[in-house]
Structure 1
């Protein structure tokens, strides 16, 4: 009987140290962007349709992983004609490249590394990530949220439309909230 209790305790404790899997909550996860407009202000927007999963264990942050897919046609800069232009082959070319994605390859507890695929180009990138929080939600689930930022150079992903030097870098902010599966 004592061996059974020890085995049960070991099994239970092993379950506690495994990473939890989360599904992105698309209504509380955002990919926002901003880029310079003529050197006098910011053009801001976001992608309205993202999906994905991540794994997270606070005791083993280096085992974290994330896999996100972005519907590029969901770009929204709060101006229909500009969004139409952003979807064109001058920029996102959504007919040829309907999705962008990020798949992590490593996390050191602070810096997330992975492969970003955008406009048909895949490049390894790294950026700082911090946990916003985690805990029970009012519906009986458990959630975790993270934020990270990355400065993307359009030309590195084959988006070469010349809008002047103020618009070469696009500042991305990734806000993800996941619901534990």
Structure 2
């Protein structure tokens, strides 16, 4: 089939004006360039801090259309690490996270409302077998080429959840009613 000059120009114009879609990224957990950390009050006198060591996920991001951003993360809840083996054993037990029954937690975004250098990501958090909508305050850390020829983008986020909203009924006192989460993700563009 022979394409004349007018058809060629029309095809070129079509490809030029086609919308640009968000880039897809894999969260870089292999290089330990991502983290999910938490803290909660302990007896009203200090903070109990920890992290989840095993998780994976993806996100989509387009700097020209940040409202189209999305994220999907799955966490191995038994990878909880508070830097104290005996406490971690208790946290995995039936009174707390019950990781034998509820092995995974997940977050799937439903919307992103951009603001200057960040915004608010809303989505559904599934934890302890219960799904609730949460909001995460997001800050863009940066993006650009890495030394290995890839392209990366990174974000941090914070949110607070109440374990009782997810069906956890063990009472640790008023200081532990809220768990604060700090999320740091660096993604490698696919």
Task: Give the greater-gyration-radius structure (CA).
Answer: 2
Q: Distance in 2 between matches of 1:146 and 1:51?
A: 15
Aligned-pair CA distance for 1:4: 2.1
**SS of the residue 2:18 aligns to:** helix
Say yes or no: does 1:146 pair with 2:155. Answer: yes
Provide the aligned length of Structure 1 versus Structure 2.
180
Look up the match of 1:160. Answer: 169
Unpaired runs of 5+ in structure 1? none
Q: Distance in 2 between matches of 1:19 and 1:103?
A: 17
Say yes or no: does 1:44 pair with 2:44. Answer: no
Look up the match of 1:119. Answer: 128
Look up the match of 1:173. Answer: 182
Aligned-pair CA distance for 1:7: 2.6
Aligned-pair CA distance for 1:56: 0.3
Q: Distance in 2 between matches of 1:5 and 1:139?
A: 37
Q: Normalising by structure 2, what TM-score? A: 0.90
String of CA shifts for 1:88-129, please: whole Å, max 9, x gaps: 111111110110000000001111111000000000111211
**SS of the residue 1:171 aligns to:** strand
Q: For 2:28, which of 25, 33, 36 is the aligned residue?
A: 25
String of CA shifts for 1:53-86, please: whole Å, max 9, x gaps: 1100011111111000000011000000011111
**SS of the residue 2:154 aligns to:** strand
Look up the match of 2:62. Answer: 57
**SS of the residue 1:73 aligns to:** helix
Q: Distance in 2 between matches of 1:8 and 1:145?
A: 34
Q: Normalising by structure 1, what TM-score? A: 0.95
Aligned-pair CA distance for 1:5: 4.3
Using a 3 Å threshold, how does the CA distance of structure 1 residues 104 and 38 change in structure 2: closer, same or farther?
Answer: same
Unpaired runs of 5+ in structure 2? none
Q: Distance in 2 between matches of 1:2 and 1:119?
A: 61
Say yes or no: does 1:11 pair with 2:20. Answer: no
Q: Distance in 2 between matches of 1:86 and 1:158?
A: 15
**SS of the residue 2:172 aligns to:** coil
